[in-house]
Amino acid sequence: MKNSARSFKELMGSSSSSRETRLVLALDISAKLPQSGMDVTRKELLVKALSILERTNEHIAALKINHQLLLPLGLYDLMQAIIKKAKDYSLPLIMDCKANDVEHTNRWIARHYFDAGFDAIIANPFIGWEGGIEPIMSESRERGKGVILLAYMSHKGATEGYGQRVLPEHSKNPLPQYLVFAEKAVRWGADGIVVGATYPEKIKEIHRIVGDKVPIYSPGIGAQGGEIKEAFKAGCTFAIIGRSIYESEDPTKSASEMKEKINEVLREL
């Protein structure tokens, strides 16, 4: 049986090292789909996505796809062109599906995304281990793929769920939910953990728990107000950035500048 944690971490490490970047591109572009002319709009969306990937691939360590792009293009339809192009560039592919269902559904979610060409998926630890995360982990290990867990999202409402205080099993003291998830990420052998860059204090707390065992992926830089310097000083491993790059008039320049900003901070640490 293959070890998912080691194989995906090595894939990310190799890509990051060879390109000298800790930047993950969130290719979350979307388009309104009118009732008529949908095929044309979908093709235009594909062309735009491929163009951005072509112009930024040298500056990114991995590509993250979300539902904005996946739903109109289709997993086994036009999305395959983007997956192939990422593979041509030797870029790891992360599917931000936030898997969050019961056992048989989660297993099929993992199977389809891995069959389609993704190297890792993001999953929500709220569903627990047995009949929740376990089938996703099992599927990933059999295929040498990765699972990244959510610990704290980047939006303001994240505090209502991820920030609530809970009483963990075998504990007498309540803890913030995100710290419980951090402990589980280590215990379950997750390939990564998502912590919003908009909450650098949460990154710092989680980093104290996961250390070098579980890389921290931080979205929310730029459009949502997160800052590169604060995120990496707190313990972030990879910055996930989307709108500041793909909405830019010059995505190549924006990606290059983001990459260099990250590297400058890393040199200071």
- The residues annotated with a catalytic role in the active site are 98
Q: What is the DSSP string of 6-58?
A: HHHHHHHHHHHHHHT--EEEE--------SSSHHHHHHHHHHHHHHHHHHHGG
Question: What is the distance of C-alpha 8 from the center of its chain?
Answer: 13
Q: Which residues, at least 6 apart from 157, have a Cβ–Cβ distance to it below 8 Å?
A: none
Residue 226's SS3 state is: strand
Amino acid letter, residue 223: A
CA distance 200 to 181: 17
CA distance 193 to 185: 7
CB 47, CB 244: distance < 8 Å: no
Please tell me what DSSP assigns to residue 221. B
CB 145, CB 119: distance < 8 Å: yes
Residue 240 in tokens: 């996930």
CB 76, CB 86: distance < 8 Å: no
Question: What is the distance of C-alpha 266 from the center of its chain?
Answer: 20
What are phi and psi for residue 108, nearest 5 degrees? -70, -35
